[in-house]
Amino acid sequence: MNHFALTIIGRDKPGIVSQVTEILYREGCNIADSSCSILGGQFAMILIISHPDKDGLEAFGDAFTPLEQQNLSVFLRTLRPGGEERLDLEGEVCMVSVYGSDKPGIVYRVARELGERQVNITDLNTKLVGSKQRPVYVMMLEAVLPATMSEEELQSIMDNLKGELEVDISVRSITAVEL
C-alpha cells in the first residue's frame, strides 16, 4: 500500500471537503487521517491517504485539476514506508489552554517551554475571538507528557509564563476513552 500526504489550500467556500473526498473516492483512495480548518479565510486541509497501486503524483493524472481550476492549491507528497503510521505515544495526554491579548511570541514561548521538556504537541489551534474592540487570542493545544512529568509540573511551568506573557494558561488532563 502506498501512502501520501495531500494538502489543499485556498479561499474558503462551501463544498471543498465534498469535492476533495469525491475525487479520492473515485480514485480508489482510502483516507487514513485528516485535519481541516479555516485559517484567516483560507481553507486548509491535510490528509494522509493510501492507494494500493498509485505510486506518485503522476499516477493521479489530472484528478485534482477541478480543484486547481477553482484556485485551490493542491500538493501531494509520497510518504516513505512507515511515514503513515500513527506513533504510539506513551504518557499523560493534556490540554493546554491560553487566553489573552494578541501579541507576537505566545505560540513560540509556550512551544519552546514544552519542546525543551520533551513534551510532544499532537494538536495545536489558535483563533482570535471576541469583537474588534476587544479581541481575545485563544490557543488550544493537546500534548503528551513524558513519563517523568506530571500535569501539576506542567502547570507550574506554564504558571511562570503567565506573568511574562500576560495571558491565562491552564493545563488539564484528558482521560483516554476506550471504545
pLDDT by residue (tens digit) across 14-68? 999 999 999 999 999 999 999 999 998 899 999 999 999 998 778 999 999 999 9
- The answer to whether residues 60 and 21 belong to one domain is yes
- Looking at residue 86, its pLDDT comes to 63
C-alpha distances (whole Å) from 41 to each of 73, 110, 142 are 15, 25, 24
**Tell me, what CATH number does 56's domain have?**
3.30.70.260
- Location of C-alpha cell 501539576: 152
Q: What is the count of structural domains for the chain?
A: 2
User: Is residue 85 one of the residues assigned to a domain?
Assistant: no
- Looking at residue 29, its pLDDT comes to 96
User: Is residue 68 one of the residues assigned to a domain?
Assistant: yes
Domain span at 130:
93-173
Task: Label residue 99 by pLDDT band (50, 70, 90).
Answer: very high
